[in-house]
Amino acid sequence: MPLTDSQSYGSSFLAEMSEVRSVVCGATERSLVALDEVGRGTSTHDGAAIADSLLHHFTQSKNSPLLVFSTHYGSLTTLEQSHVRRMTMAYHHPCLPGDKLVFLYKLVNGEANESDSFGLHVAALAGLPHDCLTQAKSKCDEAKRGAIKLQVVRAIVDAASTNCHDDVAKLCALHRSLCTRARD
């Protein structure tokens, strides 16, 4: 963090938000606005909410500028607008063990999937100790299992609210199975 950020604003996140305010207030229909990873300097929920509100502000505005908006918040890829184009960075995934991951630095249509995350691979390339990588992989797998269980619970609630009793029973059985596997 630059020293000037901490001296003049008290935090780098406040400095970021002040800069974003300047961009938002100064943008016109003739502007090119590039916002990169807005909201990363705070909690996940706050950051995602701020990024979402900014994206909606720019896409709903009558005089919206040309906007390049990069984010790691997957929830923002669901914005359904005819004039919004989703893109992601391309990569070459190794087919054989030991092959190296190659980032192509090429934008392609579509959004990144959760399975397209290579954080652990990059951490290994950077030389993080093996025990740290092993623990990180374990934590990552645990979080993914929790996310899947949460999706199943949400599906159960949705099915119950529409009186789909057969679906509720099947989803409850799936949830029990996931919980049992997690304990084993």
pLDDT score of 67: 87
- Among residues 178, 168, 169, the alpha carbon closest in space to that of 144 is found at 178
Token code pair at residue 76: 């923002």
What's the confidence (pLDDT) of residue 117?
Answer: 67
Q: Which two tokens stand for residue 39?
A: 């909201």
- Report the predicted TM-score, pTM, of the whole model to 2 decimal places: 0.59
Say if residues 65 and 54 touch (Cβ distance below 8 Å): no
Measure the CA–CA gap between 118 and 101, rounded to whole angstroms: 9
Q: What is the pLDDT of residue 5?
A: 46
User: Which are the contacts of 94, defined by CB distance < 8 A and separation ≥ 6?
Assistant: 100, 101
For residue 168, the model assigns a pLDDT of 66
Residue-by-residue pLDDT tens, the chain, 184 positions:
444 544 555 788 888 899 999 999 999 989 999 988 888 878 778 888 898 889 888 888 788 888 888 887 777 776 666 567 777 776 666 555 565 666 667 777 777 666 566 778 788 888 899 999 889 888 888 877 777 767 777 777 777 777 776 766 776 777 677 666 655 5
Signed CA dihedral, 153, 156, 162, 163: sign only: negative
In angstroms, the CA 76 to CA 48 distance is 8
Name the token pair of 44.
Answer: 């996940």
> Which stretch of DSSP H or E encloses residue 47?
helix 44-60
List of residues 6+ apart from 35 with CB closer than 8 A: 20, 23, 54, 67, 68, 69, 70
